[in-house]
Structure 1
Amino acid sequence: MSGSHLHSHDHAHGHVPVHSHGPASPHPAQAAPWSILRMTVVSRLAAAVAVSAAMWAVVWLSMR
């Protein structure tokens, strides 16, 4: 038996998942501090332009 690993170990240590809802129901909604769905169209457009400008800046800097 040399070189063989005969240690049996049960991985069920009695861990019980803790949930406050039933297994068939989805997780309850959590309060979001920020949501793109609550932004106005102008704010969304401004955010998209800002993200696009930042991404173009990364591309421009990487090509220098």
Structure 2
Amino acid sequence: MSPPHSHSHSEAGSAGHHHAAAAPHPSQSPPWSILRMTVAARLGVALVMSAMLWAFVLTAMR
């Protein structure tokens, strides 16, 4: 049986958070954002999604 050990994050040299407790995590930009899409692209995505959902509904009703 292994000896008891601590799981606390206050140990020196522990791998984990490498910033101060009061400092927030740095922001990361998302790989894509609907807010950055043009209006035409948003409408295109909406039409494709709508067609897929209608196909699903009509298939389920068969």
Unpaired runs of 5+ residues, structure 2, are: 1-5, 10-15
TM-score by length of 2: 0.63
Partner of 1:39: 37
Q: How does 1:44-55 map to 2 (within 5 A)?
A: 44-55=42-53
**What's the RMSD between the two structures over aligned residues?**
2.1
Provide the identity percentage: 49
Query: Which runs of structure 1 show a deviation greater than 3 angstroms over 4 or more consecutive aligned residues?
Result: 19-25
TM-score by length of 1: 0.61
* Aligned positions, number: 51
Distance in 2 separating the partners of 1:36 and 1:24: 29
Structure number, greater radius of gyration = 1
Partner of 1:56: 54
Distance in 2 separating the partners of 1:41 and 1:59: 27
Distance in 2 separating the partners of 1:30 and 1:47: 25
Amino acid paired to 2:17: V
Q: Any idea what the Cα deviations from partners look like across 1:34-53, whole Å, max 9, x if unmatched?
A: 11111000100110111111
